[in-house]
Chains A and B, each alone.
Chain A
């Protein structure tokens, strides 16, 4: 194979560039769930628990690429849905990330209750267990009218 190749000049016929690909240093499913300073999506959280948003975005059940990526609330078994942001391994989580603020559990012991609040509860328990300080979250999930790119629609 030749070492030389023609320099590529982007043109109007090209597909748009892909979504930002910077690899986050920590994977979490919503705001207020980063485990250390600077590990949020913007890299500017002053301490744990103060991040602005999720560092992973995926649409549905079983699509998390690593542990702890289940957003929960829409589908999944009763047991799975108890653990937003705390699944044991890849492909093991339920539902979309990030978590929107009105999302509630559809099944399990928290049925009808806020998913983000349970994710934050579990996060805080982890922080206490680890002996780490954490700050207040900037909110309780992304706004409902904030549409993630994976739900964009185009003409059928």
Chain B
């Protein structure tokens, strides 16, 4: 029996904020799913003779776009005046196995290696194309697709035109939003928008929907960057298109975006994403409190949890630290900026700390000689001291078992360069 219940449209600011907080949780909950499968890919590089794009590059591009969506939602949260939302919180950090928040029918979220099953039955279901526009708008509390959920938010933004204090957003709150330090060579060219009025708010929400599943009329192929107004489409001769996540996952499932090791001169791919030769045998839904593994492996998993949580806590600090307003023509070549340092540190912790530790985990058997490998659990880690100092301590303890974490250009050095943030 359906659990659907009728609800009102979003008509109060509090309700809009609650919807946006849920949207942020949904976006955050997809990122570990996509990263976990991406980390499980063994192969590096891609044959220039293979058709399609690399599944690994496509997955990375999608994961980064989910980070963009999370950013756009949080920018809007800031713009409408909410300062209470935190990523580093047991209330926000998702657990696996879990389920997609408030989605009907229920969709299970599990951290698993890349496979056709995971792509077809989880990833494509997350990005399921929307119902015809307006079909379910405001009628159901549980939603059937993200497009339906965001349509409700878009309508709420319009409903609250006279309630939202856009003047304050434009005058003061823009400084607290995330705008710089975003690159996605494997995805669309849309960037984190600063939300200061109704138009930028609606544009931000539309980017999320269109990149994810595509608007109902475009069959998952949309202009890049996303524009919905045909008058603003770039001329056809210079315009380019991006595929929706749903279409990209379809290409991975069918093997068009493959592993890239070719069989012959015809470009036929030698392996699929279901072959053990190209995918690490990582365990499903790792849980550092329950896993049976060597102690050093458990410690490495705990380090990955701490890094993930440092990253979320650092984002919270970024959203509490205003950008300096400086004219581009300012004569100083450089200006000291704590906020800028946090942004650079955020990129560095993802690329230079989280990635190498996760990569080491997926290459490591749970116990010596075991056929199943470890993986990053993406769990809440309760900091007992300043987060950077705790990361350094956890890393130091692991150097005997994993000397590659140290050295002149290793994780330990990268941790030493991270910004100090207070214990959350």
Contact = CB atoms under 8 A, between A and B. Distances in A.
Interface string A129-156: 0000000000000111111111111111
Interface stretch (A4-12, A25-33, A110-118): A110-118
A102 B185 CA distance: 20
Contact of A152 (B44, B330, B352, B356): B330
Contact of B180 (A61, A101, A151): A151
B332 A144 contact: no
Interface string A93-128: 000000011111111010111100100000000000
Contacts of B174: 155-156
Interface of A: 15-20, 57, 60-61, 73-78, 100-107, 109, 111-114, 117, 142-156
Given A109-B44, A149-B328, 17 more contacts: A15-B329, A16-B327, A17-B331, A73-B351, A76-B185, A102-B414, A102-B418, A103-B347, A107-B185, A111-B351, A148-B333, A148-B334, A149-B333, A149-B334, A153-B175, A153-B180, A156-B174
B323 A153 contact: yes
B326 A153 contact: yes
B328 A154 contact: yes
Q: Which 10 A-B pairs have the closest CB atoms?
A: A145-B341, A104-B352, A102-B348, A144-B344, A152-B326, A147-B340, A102-B417, A75-B183, A147-B337, A75-B185
B409 interface: yes
Contacts of A15: 329
Nearest to A57: B333
Nearest to A142: B334
Given A149-B332, A151-B340, A156-B194, A144 B351 contact: no
A102 B334 contact: no
A155 B196 CA distance: 10
Contacts of A107: 185
A9 B332 CA distance: 23
B329 A18 contact: yes
Contact of A147 (B45, B334, B419): B334
Contacts of A152: 324, 326-328, 330, 335
Contacts of B185: 61, 75-77, 107
Contacts of A117: 408-409
